[in-house]
């Protein structure tokens, strides 16, 4: 089941189908969506309204990091498994560690020594070079590039087309704006933008990831 009948859910559906995985349908918290259809699949009520013990795994396809984290916790509280998705057109080194519920999408490259936490999105065409560590519920957006030994904290967003030079640490809940070039460490909850990237203030950052 795909949790989230929105734009990111559509991308995850494609990844699952390309990987030969069977998709039973969508679930969504929005009562106006439940009972309808999305991308040719039924949309059901969210897991809390299901009978316990159903034999099904979930991918939480929600772009917003906080919402993705809460939905993932909810799925596991009701006894369901979080499923990891790797698009067959992604390139993932054999020693990469990927946590439950994470998504590596088409055209992404994840190189040796990388550690990916729980509920992470490595989006279309993103590059994560050797020995990076991506913490739980972070999002590396389409076309973003992390050089070697970069650390990305929980719920942080690396925006579309951003570049992070080697050895940088990006703390939890930070937001790197689209197209930024990060050449120094980024503090917790800080937004940075520009070339080179400079702080713009504190942001509630992970919410800028774009809803699925």
Give me the active site residues, please: 130
Q: Using only C-alpha atoms, what is the Rg of the chain? A: 17
CA dist 142 and 130 (Å) reads: 18
CA dist 65 and 43 (Å) reads: 22
Mapped to the 3 state alphabet, what secondary structure does 96-152 carry? CEECCCCEECCCCEECCCCEECCCCEECCCCEECCCCEECCCCEECCCCEECCCCEE
- The residues facing 184 across adjacent strands are none
Token pair belonging to 23: 């998709």
CA dist 38 and 187 (Å) reads: 39
CA dist 149 and 119 (Å) reads: 20
């Amino acid at each position: 089941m795909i949790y989230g009948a929105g734009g990111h859910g559509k991308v995850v559906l494609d990844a699952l189908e390309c990987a030969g995985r069977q998709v039973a349908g969508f679930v969504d918290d929005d009562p106006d969506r439940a009972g309808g259809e999305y991308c040719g699949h039924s949309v059901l009520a969210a897991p809390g309204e299901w009978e316990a013990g159903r034999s099904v795994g979930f991918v939480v396809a929600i772009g917003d990091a906080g919402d993705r984290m809460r939905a993932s916790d909810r799925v596991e509280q009701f006894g369901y498994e979080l499923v990891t998705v790797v698009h067959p057109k992604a390139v993932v080194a054999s020693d990469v560690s990927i946590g439950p519920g994470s998504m590596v999408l088409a055209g992404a490259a994840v190189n040796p020594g990388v550690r990916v936490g729980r509920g992470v999105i490595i989006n279309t065409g993103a590059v994560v070079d050797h020995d990076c560590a991506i913490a739980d519920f972070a999002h590396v957006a389409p076309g973003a590039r992390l050089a070697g030994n970069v650390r990305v904290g929980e719920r942080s967003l690396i925006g579309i087309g951003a570049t992070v030079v080697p050895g940088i640490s990006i703390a939890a809940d930070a937001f790197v704006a689209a197209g930024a070039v990060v050449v120094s460490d980024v503090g917790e909850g800080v937004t940075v933008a520009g070339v080179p990237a400079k702080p713009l203030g504190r942001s509630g950052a992970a919410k800028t990831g774009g809803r699925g």
